[in-house]
Structure formats: structure tokens, C-alpha cells
Structure 1
Amino acid sequence: MSDKQKKRYYWLKLKENFFEEDTIEWLEEQTNGKEYCLIYLKLCLKSLKTDGILARNVGNMLIPYDAETLSKITNSTVDTIKVAMDIFKKIGLIQILDGGEIYINQLNELVGSETEYAKQKRLQRAKTDNVQTLSSGCLENVAQSIELEKELEIRDKSIDILSDSSDDVPTEPPIYKKVIDYLNLKAKTSYRYQTKATQQKIKARLAEGFSEQDFYTVVDKKTQEWLDDADMQKFLRPETLFGTKFESYLNQLNSKPRQQGSYQRQSIREETMPESVTNPTPEAKLSKEEQAALDAQIAAWEASKK
């Protein structure tokens, strides 16, 4: 399959009653509500290829969008963006992740995608259906074509990482569960792999090209370093380990604990001290005349040295 055929197209799927849902209906009723709805849809479109996360990928870092950047994307004023984002957060349309990235909660339900190859095959089948009545032989050929198409899409890496559609072949158990179960085992924690924020962190790292084994390596290194440190234990959590510093953690050298030396107590030899040490003779005290003579002798010696 050529690179052109592998190219993936994304679109936003809205239910016919989208604007009749309580949340969207309430949003439209607010002052500038229709503009807020338009802003929300523009943000959904902007995050289609990043699985609902609004952030710029700069090197190995995810840089959250600020109000000024969002105003340029949506062609709205900064003040309008600030009010809109506050409302979106309060009514549950978005959430702010630990790294400051904006995550659109319902985007997975609104995304559709297909490869160029799938698009060509769909149009080809539609054309065939319109021209002739399918015989049993044609039906068999179409079924085989559909199976081939699904097999090729399963091999598409972008499906494995970014798509949660029913066309995917599920992994049993999913990578989220395996990674979080391993973290809980090593760090003696009890995190849930179903948490959306946790899954987004893992997805983001997979999208950057890291492997499943890399997650286990990071967990091993950081539990070895932090598990016995009362101040650092609290950072043995998904949002820290699998966040923007993931690559740094992965490439850090293993910190080996210092080996404690084994020392054998040596016997101490006891000796009898001389009588002059244990019972020293008191020093004789000089008389005034003797002290004066000694002082004069020292003064004369010092004068001779000048």
C-alpha cells in the first residue's frame, strides 16, 4: 500500500440532535452562547488528530495552548476565549490535565476517520452497487474485499494508537491495564487504568513512538529511586511518570544503592599502663626567685634573636 493510500482523513461526526442536548442547548442560551458553541466545534476540529488533546508538540514536550493562541485558532477575542474556556470546564466539555493541556472529554464520540485506501474501496463498492445487481459471486468478492480492507487498516499504526473506533482489533488486556497493573505492583499503589487522564498520558507517549516496554523500564527505574524516599513516593503516579519528562526518565542511568560494608568486630588488646602514667608525680612549683630567673633567661634569649 502506497504512502498516499495510507494517508488518514479525519472528520467530526455530530448527531442530528447535537444542538438539542441539554449541555449544548444551555450553552447556546447564555450571552454570546452561539459564539461559544462555534468555538467549541473549532477546538474539536483542531484536536481531531491528537485524540482530543489541545497542545503543541515541541520536541519532546507538549506545550499547552494559551488564551492568545486559542484566540487566533478560533478567530475570537482573548476575553471571549477566557470566558468560554471557563464555562466549558464548569459544564464538563473540557478538562485541564496535570501538564496544563486541554482535553476535550467527548471527542472520541465525535471522531470519524478512514484511510485513502478505505475511501477508494468504499467509493468503488458504491459505484458497483449502483451499476449492477450483486450476484452471489459478487457478494463473495465484496466480502473478501472488506476483509482485506479491515486487515490493512488494522496494520495501520495510527489506528492502534489514536483510534478507539469499532474497526480496531482490541488488545487483551489493553496496554493501559498492563502498564498500570505493573505500576501498582512495583510501587504498591492502586491506580485505575480506566481513568481518562491516565489513558491520555499513555496514548501521548505511544504517539511519540515509545514502546510498551519503555513504560515498564521507567516504572522500574523510578520505583528503585523513589520507593524508599518518603518525600518522593507521592510522585510514583501515572501523571508524573508518563508525562512530558518520560523520555528523561527512560534514559537516566540506573541509580544503584550504596553497598553496605560488612565489618567484623576486632578484639582490643589490653595492656597495663606504666605507673608514671596512671599515677603521675605532681609537677614541682617554682619559687618566685626561680620563676623570675627563668623569665629573665627567656627574655635574654628572645633579645638575642632580634
Structure 2
Amino acid sequence: MRVLVTGGAGFIGSNLCKKLLAQDDEIEVRVIDDLSSGSLANLAELDVQFFNGSILDQEILSTAAHGVDAIVHLAALGSVPRSISRPIPSHEANATGTLQVLEAARANHSAHVVLASSSSVYGKNPTLPKVETLQCMPMSPYAVSKLATEQYALAYAECYDLPVLPFRFFNVFGPGQMAGHAYAAVIPVFLEAALTGRPLPVNGDGEQSRDFTYVGTVVDTIHAALTERITGGPTNLAFGTRTTLNELISMIEHHLGRPLDIVYRERRSGDVRHSQADNTLLRSTFPGIEPTSLDVGLSATIDWMTRQLPTIPAS
């Protein structure tokens, strides 16, 4: 099977490439990535065919997708705050970019497309846990662009019989996810601060909750979707946990064996207050997937990041 991973040099993409190559000698992996947030270092020593370019570049995308059996579409311009600051680039990368990927799949004998949407599409809808049939109420241009991502996929399934499966990701974390930029995810931001002796920055009161999902579980699920050629509608890729940021900080303190300084800041515009997945559809579709707990995943992530950063002595 020939698989193209868009955004394959990024955090989730590179973890997926490692999984695919480790699990199946018959899989040929291609990656297209413009390296705007990913890094070739993430693909070091991996036997992938790399295409340096944007999914918005129709020529290079067509070349990368030629003859593939499946596309895992992870390339995106992430971050709610970035989309609020600059909405048009988010739309172009996430909505128009997805349209280009779907066209490339359609041109390749209806290649199977597994693609990343986001829990942010639920937005202001207060219902917990978030079941896929809830009304989506996006609160940011990023969330709107991700809703467009999955809706374009469903439209192509309806109009062209394209086999698709959109996953709604919930706060994916794990080894390979660094901070170091303005739009970094919360776990690497907290860990980098903790390991370098700086206060942990919390936007709001820290009582906002998230359904953190370990990257190993995510790539296991995507691998199963590819090998079993599973198709369907939007599917939450999370397992129904609910952890506040203050609880997360307490867990980090426990793992590091010392208290941490915290700085509480203004709440960010567009941030969802609470997020928790209903995992009924995921469990029924992928009964063999066993999730890695937040505690175990956090330990593995701390071990990995400790090797990347200068640390302060434990007290």
C-alpha cells in the first residue's frame, strides 16, 4: 500500500510515519510538507519519499499523490489565536488545502482519505460529552476551517463516492511535540517552562478542561483505519477524559517531584471552556484500540522532553 501523509514532518505526521514503517514492510510512505512548522529532523532515518512543498501547490501535490492508495491529511495551519489574528491564511491552508487534497485523491482512483478535523468545531455548544451528532457552533476562524475540512470530505463522499474518514482530534500530546513558538500546545508549553525553571503560563483561571489524547493512541487508530480501509462520518478521536489545566499542573508536579510556579493571565479569545469526547462511535469502530492514559503518556512525554532541554535540578 502506498500512503501519502500531508504534514508528515510535523508532530503527529512524523509519529504516524514511524508507526506505518514499523508495522508493515509492505507500506510505502510519502510525505508532503512545506516545513513551516514541521522539520526534516522528525523524519531522520525514516524510509520516506519526501516532497518539500505546500498542499496549495497543485503541481507538487499531484506529483506526491500520483499512484497512492491512501492519503492521511494532517497538513494544516493550527492555532485558534493565529486564526483570529490572521483568518485568511487559516482558511486557505485548512479549507482550500483540504479541497486540493480531496481533488488529488479523486484523481488517483478514489484513494482512501483519512483526515484531521478538530474538537474545536463544537465551539460554544455546552453539552458534555461531545457526541458527533451535536450541533457545531465554532468560535474561531480555525474552528470554521476545520468544520469546512470535514464537510468537504463528506461532500466528496456523497458526490464522487470518495472513501473518507474525518477524525476530530482532541488535544493530542506526546513525544515530538515541542513548544518554542507563539502557538504551541499547552502540554509542551507547561513542560518546557517546568524543565527550564520558568513559571507555567495559564490563560484564564486554569479550570478549563480538556480531553488529552496521547499521540501513540492517535497513530494506532489512524493505522487501523488505513489497514482496514474504514470510512464514515466525523469521529471523535479521544476517549472521554476530562482534565482541568490546574489538575494537569498537579500531575506534572507529581512527576517532577517539586512544586511549580504559575502565572495566570487573561483568558484567550476563542478558547472553548470545556472539552470532552463521547467515544461511543470510536469504540464501536475501533474495538481493538486501547488508549494510553494521561498519566502514562505524560511520563513518556516528560522523559522525551527532558532529553531535548536543559533541566533544573529536582528539589
Q: Does the alignment reach a TM-score above 0.5?
A: no
The TM-score normalised by the length of structure 1 is 0.23
Structure with a larger share of its residues in helix: 1
The TM-score normalised by the length of structure 2 is 0.22
